[in-house]
Chains A and B, each alone.
Chain A
Amino acid sequence: DGGITQSPKYLFRKEGQNVTLSCEQNLNHDAMYWYRQDPGQGLRLIYYSQIVNDFQKGDIAEGYSVSREKKESFPLTVTSAQKNPTAFYLCASSLFGGGTDPQYFGPGTRLTVL
């Protein structure tokens, strides 16, 4: 089955630690995205990548970093510089990255900072 997988589903971290969230897709999509969702709010774009080895900052990139070494993988690192990292993180992909294509989402990772 084609789709997007995110792991882990739940993640706990101590303050001051970096943590990496995994996102993998087997849809052969060019573009991938990371969003953050806070309770009762919409989605805010963290980073996106339209092709391998290239990515762009979204609206709230501070305190986050990404890499895109393979087409199917787009991991997100939440660094200690992110002041309020507790949130629900969603990864998405789209066929070519233009706004004409729907974005398809993974199941999400819920990060809690203790």
Chain B
Amino acid sequence: AQKVTQAQTEISVVEKEDVTLDCVYETRDTTYYLFWYKQPPSGELVFLIRRNSFDEQNEISGRYSWNFQKSTSSFNFTITASQVVDSAVYFCALSAWTNFNKFYFGSGTKLNVKP
């Protein structure tokens, strides 16, 4: 069975702080993909990143970075020098080979960045 756990329901930080959002996944498949999405208050989910199970390289995009560790089944997301515009709900999602039609979403982490 596939499952994504985002244990942090809500996080509050002050602007310019670094923050890490945790994502732990479960799957028995060796082929799978992981995704992060941002849902701002407007409601539309915005795709941020995709990572496949064979590529454990970390990725950096501006203030965003992702740490993929198969040994701990984690795909964590770090925002450096957070800004008020980063305030949103962030979702981690998994798709796995045995049921590639379906995305398994975590319950989301609400990030509040205060000025």
A interface, CB within 8 angstroms of B: 31, 40-43, 45, 48, 50, 56, 58, 88, 90, 92, 97-100, 102-108, 110
Cβ contacts under 8 Å, A31 to chain B: 101
Please determine whether B102 and A99 come into contact, CB atoms closer than 8 angstroms: yes
Please determine whether B47 and A103 come into contact, CB atoms closer than 8 angstroms: yes
Interface residues on B, range: 20 to 34
The complex places the Cα of A101 from the Cα of B1 at a distance, in Å, of 20
Nearest residue, chain A, Cβ from B37: A105
Nearest residue, chain A, Cβ from B48: A102
Map CB proximity to A onto B93-115 as digits: 1 under 8 Å, 0 otherwise: 00111011111011110000000
Nearest residue, chain A, Cβ from B46: A105
B36 to chain A, nearest CB (A): 10
Interface centre among B50, B97, B102 (most CB of A within 10 A): B102
Nearest residue, chain B, Cβ from A6: B44
* CB interface residues, B 1-47, toward A, < 8 Å: 9, 32-33, 35, 37, 42-47
Interface centre among A31, A40, A110 (most CB of B within 10 A): A40
